Chain A
Amino acid sequence: EADIYQTPRYLVIGTGKKITLECSQTMGHDKMYWYQQDPGMELHLIHYSYGVNSTEKGDLSSESTVSRIRTEHFPLTLESARPSHTSQYLCASSVGTRTDTQYFGPGTRLTVL
């Protein structure tokens, strides 16, 4: 059973607000990922991390930022939310090799009004 958590599960917020989506895993995994998924559309990788103090941008340009100060924690921040940020955000983690299974969190469904 994978132990990866995301909070909040649902968030409705007004334009211009700063928000942080939390992701934590208790498996000691080195690699963590953030994906964005618009309704009915495919997943896109927006950020990933190989370990503490390592962050990289994914294949989809995103206005969000991430940090990795602790192994278990990989928060995603939007400094000024806009309606175009309305989407589902999924966090995942894996042990660390390129072929490892990824374990997904339950997702955060964000709506920006």
Chain B
Amino acid sequence: KNEVEQSPQNLTAQEGEFITINCSYSVGISALHWLQQHPGGGIVSLFMLSSGKKKHGRLIATINIQEKHSSLHITASHPRDSAVYICAVNNDMRFGAGTRLTVKP
């Protein structure tokens, strides 16, 4: 069983929809990362969280340490948000399997 579980695995949305991607983990952590991987393979770090909530533009990330759960939200989604979103915990960087998001115009 993977120590970092993401859901859903695949997500298709219409442009403008509010999107939520979930990440649950089973180990104690010092921080959790949300990463974005584009179709060409390049990875961008979106957020690093150890508590609470962070916002950057249309992206919001939250974490509940007690429940061992984090969510990534995208407001007013756009086709350019189409990518794989990966959750990783900061204990030797263990990764979730990723959520493949497709936003249709």
What's the Cα separation between A101 and B48 when bound, in Å? 6
| Count of residues in B whose CB is under 8 Å from the partner chain | 22
Is the interface on chain A under 10, 10 to 19, 20 to 34, or 35 or more residues?
20 to 34
Q: Is the CB–CB distance between B30 and A98 below 8 Å?
A: yes
A74-107 Cβ-contact flags toward B at 8 Å (1 or 0): 0000000000000010101000001111111011
B88-105 residues with Cβ-Cβ distance < 8 A to A are: 88, 90, 92-98
Q: Contact check: which of A42, A48, A98, A109 meets B98 at CB < 8 Å? A: A42
- Contact status A104-B98, CB under 8 Å: no
Which 9 interchain pairs have the tightest Cβ spacing? A104-B43, A99-B31, A43-B95, A42-B97, A42-B95, A107-B41, A101-B48, A101-B45, A98-B30
* Selected A-B contacts with CB under 8 Å, 19 pairs: A37-B41, A42-B86, A43-B93, A45-B93, A58-B92, A88-B41, A90-B43, A98-B30, A99-B31, A99-B48, A99-B50, A100-B48, A103-B45, A104-B43, A104-B44, A106-B41, A107-B42, A107-B43, A109-B41
